[in-house]
Amino acid sequence: MASHLRRSIAAATTALTALIALQAAGMAQTASSIDLLRRAVNPNPTLKSYTASAQLSATLHVVIPVHKTYDGKVYYLKPRRAIQFQNVSGALSRFKDLATSTPTYDEAMAQYSITPGTDNGTVSTYTFVPKKQGSRVKSITLTVNDTSALVSHAQWAYTNGGSMSFDQMYTNVGTFRLPAKTNISAYFPGYSVDGTLTFGNYNPNVPVSPSVFTATPAP
- CATH code, domain with 145: 2.50.20.10
Give the C-alpha separation, 111 to 155, whole Å: 17
Average pLDDT (199-218) is 83
Domain holding 72, by residue range, is 40-213
Tell me whether residue 6 is in a domain. no
Domain contains 209: yes
Structural domain includes residue 29 = no
Domain total of the chain: 1
Q: Is residue 103 part of a domain?
A: yes
- Spell out where 78-175 has E strands: 80-85, 112-119, 123-130, 137-145, 151-158, 163-173
Q: Is the peptide bond before 79 cis (omega within 30 degrees of 0)?
A: yes
Q: Per residue in 73-85, pLDDT tens? A: 999 988 888 888 8
Is 138 part of a structural domain of the chain? yes
Q: Is residue 65 part of a domain?
A: yes
Residue 7 falls in which region: left (phi positive, over 0), alpha (psi -120 to 50) or beta: alpha
Model confidence over 87-140: pLDDT tens digits? Answer: 777 766 665 554 455 566 777 778 888 888 888 989 999 999 999 888 888 999
Q: Which residues contact 5 (CB under 8 A, 6 or more apart)?
A: none
